[in-house]
Amino acid sequence: MQDFVGANTDFLVVAPRDAVRRRLQAERHSGVTDYETIIAVIPLSTGPGVIAKLLDSVRDEGLNMTSLMSRPIKGNAGTYSFIITLDAAPWQENFNHLLSQIVAEGDWVKTLAVYPRGEHPNPPVDTWMLPQGGICLKRAHSGEIESKEERELLW
């Protein structure tokens, strides 16, 4: 669980829906304002650009997406569910508007989790954090690549 100094792991507590509602209401009344929400979306009409349209809607509502995963739907080749984590709560106006847009398109959506958002520092990504074998154009153009061997590793 900790493969480097500073690593951490988040855990999610699963509870009955009524208990969750009471807990969220208590947190909101105690002043908690920052939340994360995990939703599942299944586009009922598929094809090129389906996920791009969904991502455009997230962007247009000014929401910060921290995770996107896709999973195939059992027994229905070519149909996928998208599990999305957003830095917002469904009761916020822009998030609620996003949910309304998804439903208006005829797609299926379900809220899987809502929880107070922990602190999310936004430190810069250092070169050592990047997987080997990829390319970072900013680094390539900054003159940081020192050798032919290193350049070949990037390609």
Q: What is the pLDDT of residues 5-22, one digit of tens each?
A: 767 676 667 778 888 788
Alpha helices, DSSP H, located in the chain: 17-29, 50-60, 93-104, 137-142, 148-154
Relative to beta strand 35-42, strand 80-86 is antiparallel
Go through the domains of the chain in sequence order and give each one's CATH number. Answer: 17-122 (3.30.70.260), 125-155 (no CATH)
Q: What is the pTM of this model?
A: 0.70
Confidence of residue 99 (pLDDT cuts 50, 70, 90): very high
